[in-house]
Amino acid sequence: MPPLKKIHFEISERKLLLRLFDVLTVVGALYVVGLLFKFDYFSISKANFYWTIVLGLYLNILGTVFEMYNLQTASNQYQVIKSILLTSSTTVLFFLLTPIFTPVLPSNRLQIIYFFLAITLALFGWRIFYQSFLASHRFLKRVVMVCDKNQLEELVMSLVKVDPHYKILGFVNTDSKGEIVSDLPDIENIEIPKLNDFIKKNAISEIVIASQKTDGITVDLYNDLLMLLEKGFVIREYTQVYEMITQRIPVQYVDRDFYRYFPFSRSNHNKLYLLLVRLLEIIVSLFGIAIGLYLLPFIYVANFIGNKGALIYIQERVGKNGKVFKIYKFRTMVKNAETDKAVFATQNDRRITAFGKFLRKSRIDEFPQFINVLKGDMAVIGPRPERPFFVEQIASQMPFYQTRHVIKPGLTGWAQVNYSYGDSIKDSLIKLQYDLYYIKHRSVFLDINITIKTISTILFYRGQ
Model confidence over 29-63: pLDDT tens digits?
A: 999 998 888 888 887 777 778 888 999 999 999 99
- pLDDT for residue 1: 42
The helix/strand/coil state of 363 is coil
140-246: CATH homologous superfamily? NAD(P)-binding Rossmann-like Domain (3.40.50.720)
Residue ranges per structural domain of the chain: 11-134, 140-246, 266-459
Rg (CA), the chain: 26
- pLDDT confidence of residue 286: 96
CA 436 to chain centroid: 13
Comparing CA positions, the residue from 141, 116, 117, 124 lying closest to residue 7 is 141
Q: Give the up-direction half-sphere exposure of residue 230: CA atoms within 13 A in the CB hemisphere.
A: 6
DSSP at 40 = -
What DSSP state is assigned to residue 352? Answer: B
Cut 0.85: pTM above it: no
- Which residue ranges in the chain fall short of pLDDT 70? 1-9, 135-139, 176-183, 212-216, 253-264, 336-349, 421-423, 461-464
Q: Which helix (H) or strand (E) holds 279?
A: helix 271-306
Residue 411 CB burial class (10 angstroms; 0-12, 13-18, ≥19)? buried
Residue 451 identity (one-letter amino acid) = T
For 234, phi and psi rounded to 5 degrees? -85, 120
Residue 344: per-residue pLDDT: 63
Give the rounded distance of the alpha carbon of 235 from its chain centre.
Answer: 26
Residue 116 to residues 81, 96, 109, 308: CA-CA distances in angstroms? 15, 11, 11, 48
Distance CA 92, CA 38 (A): 18
Residues constituting the chain = 464
Non-local CB neighbours of 185 within 8 Å, separated by 6+ positions: none
CA atoms of 121 and 133, how far apart (whole Å): 18
Query: What pLDDT does residue 28 have?
Result: 94
